[in-house]
Amino acid sequence: MELISRMMDGSIPYDPEGRLEPVLSGPGAKQEDKIERLKEVSLFEACSQRQLRGVARIARVFDVAAGTLLTRAGEPGDEFFLIIDGTARAEVSVQKHVLLHPGEFFGEMSLLDGGPRSATVVADTPLRLLVISRRHFAVLLKDVPGLTETLLVTLSRRVRQAEDRAERLRG
Ligand code: CMP
């Protein structure tokens, strides 16, 4: 099971090796602080205050050290990640690494189709991440205006890139 999953479901309170430490989480976190952070994320710019409160209720914020493994290709995955600060690296294949920046997200594919992780994702720098678990993902899609469309556009772009790459490998 992915490390963040174990932290999200409470089976470990934090990474015993200290590589990953939750910053804000659960009911103990100050909702107002979380809402202020959400306002800085472009994905949430069309959200009303009520919608932001809804997102803040279901989201956890984690600080993650560079090098932390966030998803592992081929394994099941139960979280959606949005980058607040820092850069993540999606290792789509041995030759293809894609850098993901603040405002970008990953982990949506396993939540949408229930399949295993399509790529390994590692923190390229220290990261601040917003993490949403599978059981809250539907709430996120309902509450955030335009999120479904953004996911579709991103997925279309990824399919196109994968097809171009396959074509280049064949040709
Ligand atoms: P998921 O398959 O759940 O977990 C790995 C994630 O890596 C995947 O969701 C996407 O969010 C991301 N990912 C997969 N392929 C690419 C790609 N070509 N470019 C950017 N990100 C990708």
In which element (H, E) is residue 127 found?
strand 127-133
pLDDT digits (tens, 9 = 90+) for 65-121: 999 999 999 999 999 999 999 999 999 988 889 999 999 999 999 999 999 999 999
Q: How far is the CA of 106 from the centre of ligand 1 (A)?
A: 6
- Whole-model pTM: value is 0.88
Both tokens assigned to 80: 């959606």
Separation CA 92–CA 81 (nearest Å): 16
Both tokens assigned to 149: 């469309």
Residue nearest atom 10 of ligand 1, based on CA coordinates? 106
Q: What is the pLDDT of residue 143?
A: 87
Taking residues 121-135, what's their average pLDDT? 95
Residue nearest atom 22 of ligand 1, based on CA coordinates? 90
Taking residues 141-161, what's their average pLDDT? 92
In the predicted structure, residue 28 carries a pLDDT above the cut 60:
no
- Mean pLDDT across the chain, nearest whole number? 87
In the predicted structure, residue 140 carries a pLDDT above the cut 80:
yes
Separation CA 69–CA 57 (nearest Å): 25
Q: What is the pLDDT of residue 58?
A: 92
Of 25, 57, 56, the C-alpha closest to 38 is 56
Ligand 1 residue neighbourhood (C-beta within 6 Å)? 71, 77, 90, 92, 98, 106-110, 117-119, 121, 158, 161
Q: Which residues, 6 or more positions from 76, have their beta carbon under 8 angstroms from its beta carbon?
A: 1, 110, 116, 117
Contact 100, 154 (CB under 8 A): no
Separation CA 147–CA 130 (nearest Å): 15
Q: Which residues, 6 or more positions from 162, have their beta carbon under 8 angstroms from its beta carbon?
A: 92
